[in-house]
Amino acid sequence: MAYIYNIKTTVSTECLNKDVIKICRSDPLNYIVSDSLDDLNKQIKQLEGIDESIKPNKPVSKMKLDELKAYAEELGIENIDSLTKEELIAVIKQNG
């Protein structure tokens, strides 16, 4: 028995089928599999924490240039120093 969390649908379930468990374990980009429900919940919270830390607190159109540059760096966008605010917003929307 294992607990499976589908990352895309955010649904977790208890599973008894060994073949399903094996398939889900082999696909860590889409599923989190754990033998313990407590461990699964901890992993889900860590995953949600990662997603929340990248999201801005306000829309990019309302951000100042320095906020946009900091957000772009968090997203891993490079060569942003010479961009205008409008160009930076476009690049963030394209990559974010």
Q: Do residue 48 and residue 6 come from a single domain? A: yes
Q: Do residue 73 and residue 33 come from a single domain? A: no
Neighbours of 14 (CB within 10 A): 10
Q: Do residue 47 and residue 9 come from a single domain? A: yes
Task: Give the tens place of pLDDT for each residue, 11-25.
Answer: 999 999 999 999 999
Q: Do residue 35 and residue 72 come from a single domain? A: no
Low-confidence ranges of the chain (pLDDT < 50): 51
Give the pTM.
0.52
Q: Do residue 85 and residue 66 come from a single domain? A: yes
Q: How many helices (H) and strands (E) does the chain have?
A: 4, 3
Whole-angstrom CA distances from 12 to 6, 22, 51 are 6, 16, 18
The first and second tokens of residue 84, run together, are 């205008």
Q: Do residue 44 and residue 67 come from a single domain? A: no
Domain total for the chain?
2
Domain around 9: 2-52
CB of 27 within 8 A of CB of 49? no
Q: Do residue 8 and residue 48 come from a single domain? A: yes
Q: Do residue 6 and residue 43 come from a single domain? A: yes
Provide the pLDDT for residue 33: 96
Q: Do residue 42 and residue 67 come from a single domain? A: no
Q: Do residue 14 and residue 42 come from a single domain? A: yes
